[in-house]
Chain A
Amino acid sequence: MALRGNLRDFTITQLLNLINLAQKTGTLVVEGPTETAQVAFRDGKLAYAQVGQGVSGLAYILHKANKLSSGQFKAIQQRSNQISDKELGLLLINAGYLTQEDILTNLQQYFGDIVQRLFTWVEGFFHFENDILPPDDRISVRLDLENLIIEGSRQMREWEQLQDEIPSLDMALKFTDRPGTNLRNVNLSVEEWRVVSFINPRNTIKQIANATKMNDLEIRRIVYGLLQAGLVEICRLEGAAPIQQVRVFPTEDKEEQKSLVNRLISRIRSL
């Protein structure tokens, strides 16, 4: 029977364990909440991974890893029909621009990151296509799954904790009103500064993540750090449609409301 199902019933960890133990060869297609990932395995080892249908390939991966400048990436893109990933790899090695190890390390890192992202997908469908591998012109790797599974499980625990701490990315952030705290004196990483620059009750955490090109896990990590340091606090989005005001008091009259609270106080005292 074909390996297909729902991530709710069979998690990414279980899938990777199965592929590893059964030493499977083929492509796992995972349809997540917003995008689809294709992860190829050869004899139970990670060979290739891709998310979405957008730009991918060696040039993109090396550009993302800052191994190629934007100009170089653009020039390669323009010739993308004429040059395959393997040819590009050879070209870069022969030109002494990168070593074979550089290329493989960056590919492993990129593919590994995609697999790690999958651990945060709890909704979606998957199917495994036996014996289907990426096209021959793509460079594949051989990466043991054990470490990815261990790291992924660790991240999943972290993910669950972060979800407890920041249940919704539709909320906004604002700086805490703490006199004496000067943000300039706080040591923040480049990523943290990028997030800080977007903090405003008019931006949701999700919008900040989009603007800073961070995934859910990355933005939650940074927001969690800022919350823990007491620099920011979660607030309702400014300008958002007000929550439908549910009546708290049975009367609109302010004096009657006060009298009602005073009656409650007297009653509780008399208990």
Chain B
Amino acid sequence: MQTVKMVVTGPFSAGKTEFIRSVSEIDVVSTERRISSTAEKTVKEATTVAMDFGRITVDDDLVLYLFGTPGQKRFDFMWEILSEGMLGFIVMVDSTRPETFREARSILETFRAYAPTPYVVAANKQDMKEAWEPEDMRHALRLDPKVKFLPCVATDRDSVKSTLLELLYSILSEMESGEK
């Protein structure tokens, strides 16, 4: 059986667990714990402390694993371990919480330094009325125009599928350009 993996990263409460849950064929193996910090608790009740783990079986011979990183900075020692051997990665950003944009940018830089693999950035929670416009977010995140920045709703399977596909297209296109 052949396996490949992709990593879903981003700041605390960006929607990484939901993203994986939307497409995984198994119940996401989630290492969530109740949040003790009052400030973080106002955002959500539980958070990922080690990793989320989802699976998509492609055929009899190939399986795609999706790993979600813990968003809180104090668990960043897990990031490098999770990034090893990844096909590509997705940076999730909560479009309704501009205060996390700076951290998202920093996480993106860190992952880029770990491995020069293709990546896309997903503007999550675009269905919410307080969500920032993707174009404004692109500027705020200081993303290069060449970087794929995709509107996303992590709870919507089609939206998650589009994000994964865009990443796969980037991987394919990089492989093809490497051959030239």
Contacts and interface: CB of A to CB of B under 8 A. Distances in A.
Interface of A: 164-165, 167, 171, 230, 233-236, 243, 246-251, 254, 257-258, 260-265, 267-269, 271
A47 B84 CA distance: 52
A260 B168 contact: no
A268 B56 contact: yes
Interface in B143-169: 157, 161, 164-165, 168-169
A81 B89 CA distance: 63
B172 A265 contact: yes
17 contacts: A164-B102, A165-B106, A167-B76, A167-B110, A230-B142, A233-B109, A243-B115, A248-B4, A248-B86, A248-B117, A249-B87, A261-B172, A261-B175, A263-B58, A264-B168, A265-B169, A267-B64
B4 A249 contact: yes
Nearest to B6: A264
B158 to A, nearest CB: 9
A257 B117 CA distance: 14
A205 B26 CA distance: 44
A249 B62 CA distance: 11
Contacts of A233: 109
Interface residues of B, number: 37
Given A236-B113, A248-B86, A269-B165, A264 B4 contact: yes
B172 to A, nearest CB: 5
A260 B2 contact: yes
A53 B102 CA distance: 40
A86 B23 CA distance: 75
The 5 closest A-B CB pairs, nearest first, are A246-B85, A250-B2, A267-B58, A246-B84, A265-B168
A262 B103 CA distance: 33
A271 B56 contact: yes
A257 B176 CA distance: 11
B156 to A, nearest CB: 12
A265 B172 CA distance: 10
Nearest to B57: A267
A167 B107 CA distance: 10
Interface of B: 2-4, 23, 56-59, 62, 64, 73, 76, 84-87, 102-103, 106, 109-110, 113-115, 117, 142, 157, 161, 164-165, 168-169, 171-172, 175-176, 179
A164 B103 contact: yes
Contact of B171 (A165, A250, A261, A263): A261
Nearest to A236: B113
A260 B113 contact: no
Contact of B165 (A258, A263, A265): A265
Given A164-B73, A268-B161, A269-B165, A263 B59 contact: yes
Contacts of A261: 168, 171-172, 175
Given A247-B85, A248-B85, A264 B3 contact: no
Contacts of B113: 171, 234-236
A264 B106 contact: no
Contact of A264 (B64, B85, B102): B64
A9 to B, nearest CB: 17
A268 B179 contact: no
A271 B161 contact: yes
Given A249-B87, A264-B168, A267-B56, 10 more contacts: A234-B113, A246-B85, A247-B85, A248-B4, A250-B2, A258-B172, A264-B62, A265-B169, A267-B58, A271-B157
A247 B4 CA distance: 9
Contacts of B23: 268, 271
Nearest to A233: B109
B102 to A, nearest CB: 7
Given A248-B86, A254-B175, A261-B172, A164 B106 contact: yes
